[in-house]
């Protein structure tokens, strides 16, 4: 049974408070019913994910540059745990170099977001990301070749 009415569970890890606020505001404007959990660094995120019996969230927005445990460290840790193979990981970064994008995908990310600097663009990007992710999630598409760069 497809449960179209299940709220989508979104995680967000970013050390910058303003960015966290912008993201959660943008997510709040989605049509899709959703639940958001925020983390201020990689350590907090991994502690949450490593709790036993946690229900795998649908999508994680992960900032690449965080002090301590970086986004890339988290990505590696999550991708070596088969428990999270259904979790889509959306990396966002200020870089748009093809090399960085490629490395991120090879490292196991599904989505690469070049962080827009204006709020209305950010809203559009998040909407597009959540939407395409939902299609993969609800239609049994192959997550292993799910890449989306925006």
Partner 1 sequence: MKLYIKYDGIVACRVILQEQLEKHNVKYQLLDLGEIEIDGDIAEDNFAELQESLNHYGISILNNQKSQLIQRIKDAIVEMVYERDKLPTTTISHYLSEKLNFSYGYIANIFSEYTFTSIENFIIIQKIERAKKLIVEEELTLTEISYKLNYSSVAHLSSQFKKVTGLTPSMFKRIVDKRRLLVNQVE
Burial (CB < 10 A; 0-12, 13-18, 19+), residue 54, is exposed
Q: Which is nearer to partner 1, 43 or 116 (CB)?
A: 116
Q: Is 59 exposed, middle or buried (0-12, 13-18, 19+ CB in 10 A)?
A: buried
Angle between helix 42-49 and 71-79 (nearest 10):
20
Distance between CA atoms of residues 44 and 60, nearest Å: 13
**Interface residues for partner 1 in 106-135 (CB under 8 A)?**
106, 108, 112, 131-132, 134-135
If one asks whether residue 5 binds partner 1 (CB under 8 A), the answer comes out as yes
Give the three-class secondary structure for 140: coil
29 binds partner 1 (CB under 8 A): no
Q: Considering beta carbons, is residue 64 or 66 the nearer one to partner 1? A: 64
Q: Which of residues 30-59 bind partner 1 (CB under 8 A)?
A: 31-32
Question: Applying CB under 8 A, does 86 fall inside the site for partner 1?
Answer: no
Q: Would you tell me which residues interact with partner 1 (CB under 8 A)?
A: 1-6, 31-32, 98, 102, 105-106, 108, 112, 131-132, 134-135, 138-139, 141-142, 145, 147-150
């Amino acid at each position: 049974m497809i449960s179209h009415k299940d709220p989508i569970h979104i995680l967000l890890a970013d050390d910058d408070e303003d960015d966290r606020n912008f993201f959660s505001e943008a997510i709040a404007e989605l049509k899709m019913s959703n639940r958001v959990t925020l983390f201020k660094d990689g350590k907090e995120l991994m502690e949450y994910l490593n709790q036993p019996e946690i229900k795998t969230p649908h999508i994680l927005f992960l900032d690449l540059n965080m002090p301590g445990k970086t986004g890339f460290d988290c990505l590696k840790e999550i991708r070596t745990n088969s428990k999270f193979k259904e979790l889509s990981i959306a990396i966002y970064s200020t870089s748009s170099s093809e090399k960085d994008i490629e490395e991120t995908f090879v490292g196991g990310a599904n989505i690469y977001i070049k962080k827009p600097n204006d709020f209305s663009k950010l809203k559009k990007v998040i909407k597009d990301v959540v939407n395409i992710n939902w299609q993969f999630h609800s239609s049994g598409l192959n997550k292993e070749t799910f890449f989306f760069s925006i």
